[in-house]
Structure 1
Amino acid sequence: MIKFSSTTFLIILLLLSRLNSFSQVNYSELALTGRGDLELAGTQDKLQKEVFEAFKKMQQAALKDSISIKIASAYRSFDRQQEIWNRKYEAYISEELTPQEAIEKIIAYSTIPGTSRHHWGTDIDLIEEVVKLPERLLIEENYINNGIFSNFKKWMDKNSEKYGFYLVYDDTVNRRGFKYEPWHYSYKKLSYPMLKEFLKVDLIKLLQSVNLKGNKFITPVFLQKYTNENVLDINPKLK
């Protein structure tokens, strides 16, 4: 019979707890790409139930410190992301950009439909609810220095991870892919296993089967580069 010391037993319990916290859930391809098959909570701003409850706890804690957190964007379907993509693509083409230039400009901030973390019901774009909101909400200037949401950002820097939320596209100097988004947070306990499952999806097959502007220019080589830089080059704490 194998005997364990109390210290060894405690370490085993901690490891099992960590494994359980990121237990693998069998998410379908539909759920991973925003095309349905995902249970969501909330009315206007929908999230997975666990994420919604964690956000509410964080929101209530912030309110005690006079910070009123508001969701600007939560779950986003494939169809909605496709609308955003097609609108931007047509606008850039009308400005006489080449298809390749239009796509590169889009993916500075917007994802290819089917690849958005917002499809998972785990990610949220956040602002602070103030008396007079600026015309443009989700821009870096609002969150840094003395920007209108700078107090909110300071509170999040100090507290968000206590509630399971991590900044996705941080301001690490050498990070590639999407630009710095001080408003975009992800609930790690669920988004971590979903990212692992998402990487198994055949994106080329999916994108060739939908009405996506410029999809013939999204080649396997381009998509691999996009995956490495835009999907995977994120806050290391989320990988």
Structure 2
Amino acid sequence: PMMVGNGYKLLPEVAKQLELMKADALKAGFKIQVISSYRNYTYQNGIWERKYKANQAKKIAAKENIEKIIEYSTIPGTSRHHWGTDLDIIDGTRGIPADPLNEKHFNEGGSMHKFKLWLDENASKYGFYLVYTDNSARKGFKYEPWHFTYKAISEPMLQAYKKLDIKKVLQENKLLGSENFTDDFIEKYRKENILDINPVIK
């Protein structure tokens, strides 16, 4: 059962820790805004289909289309956002920009750079860790300075998840474009997109 809070839906323990982090961030001058938290399969599938169709309209071939989507978006059914442990956060002190989940805001010179430094220093005190780190050797999803996970619950979830037959899951769901998911593609996706994450959380 997810707990619904101020603009988010998370597991109760995660929500509780987030509220503590929000309160302390506020004292430091940052207003944590949750852009995304728990997402069900249908929601994630909507994101997938929208992107897939938009790429199709640009005459992008299926394999390239999929490669393009998985730079930032997960294949429905494989999203960490399905767990209720992960969330995308920004600093809303100066309002929410049109493209809140953009690395430039968090980089040096960006409006959320100070917030980023605060998170680097403090997030782990509340049990939150960055998932997709800024490490040039890391493969899979691109750097996401906004995506945090609550390790105490997401770590065991990942262990259980590793045991799933991803190919079966994907094919049963009749996902748009899934006929292009070869065994090699699935193996690579599993190794890079699902498992090449911050080593602290796996």
Among 37, 44, 48, the alignment partner of 1:85 is: 48
Aligned partner of 1:205 in structure 2 is 168
* Separation (CA, whole Å) in 2 of partners of 1:225 and 1:131: 40
Aligned length: 201
Q: Any gaps of 5 or more consecutive residues in structure 2?
A: none
* Separation (CA, whole Å) in 2 of partners of 1:55 and 1:153: 16
* Separation (CA, whole Å) in 1 of partners of 2:176 and 2:141: 20
Letter of the 1:87 counterpart? R
CA RMSD of aligned residues (A): 1.0
Does the 8 Å CA contact 1:69/1:152 hold for their aligned counterparts? Answer: no
Does the 8 Å CA contact 1:73/1:126 hold for their aligned counterparts? Answer: yes
Q: Any gaps of 5 or more consecutive residues in structure 1?
A: 1-38
Aligned partner of 1:32 in structure 2 is none
In the TM superposition, what is the alpha-carbon distance from 1:131 to its structure 2 partner?
3.0
Aligned partner of 2:122 in structure 1 is 159
Does the 8 Å CA contact 2:80/2:86 hold for their aligned counterparts? Answer: yes
Among 112, 132, 152, the alignment partner of 2:75 is: 112
Aligned partner of 1:45 in structure 2 is 8
**Share of identical aligned residues, percent?**
47
* Separation (CA, whole Å) in 2 of partners of 1:183 and 1:140: 8
* Separation (CA, whole Å) in 1 of partners of 2:116 and 2:180: 38
**Counterparts of 1:180-219 in structure 2 under 5 Å?**
180-219=143-182
In the TM superposition, what is the alpha-carbon distance from 1:219 to its structure 2 partner?
1.9
Letter of the 1:104 counterpart? E
**Counterparts of 1:117-196 in structure 2 under 5 Å?**
117-196=80-159
Is it true that 1:54 corresponds to 2:17 in the alignment?
yes
In the TM superposition, what is the alpha-carbon distance from 1:129 to its structure 2 partner?
1.2
* Separation (CA, whole Å) in 2 of partners of 1:217 and 1:235: 28
Is it true that 1:73 corresponds to 2:36 in the alignment?
yes
More strand by share: 2
Q: Give the TM-score, by structure 2 length.
A: 0.96
Does the 8 Å CA contact 1:175/1:233 hold for their aligned counterparts? Answer: yes
Does the 8 Å CA contact 1:124/1:186 hold for their aligned counterparts? Answer: yes
Is it true that 1:103 corresponds to 2:66 in the alignment?
yes
* Separation (CA, whole Å) in 2 of partners of 1:219 and 1:105: 16
Letter of the 2:168 counterpart? K
User: What is the SS of the residue equivalent to 1:82?
Assistant: helix
Letter of the 1:158 counterpart? E
Q: Give the TM-score, by structure 1 length.
A: 0.82
Letter of the 2:2 counterpart? L
Does the 8 Å CA contact 1:73/1:124 hold for their aligned counterparts? Answer: yes
Letter of the 1:52 counterpart? A
Aligned partner of 1:238 in structure 2 is 201
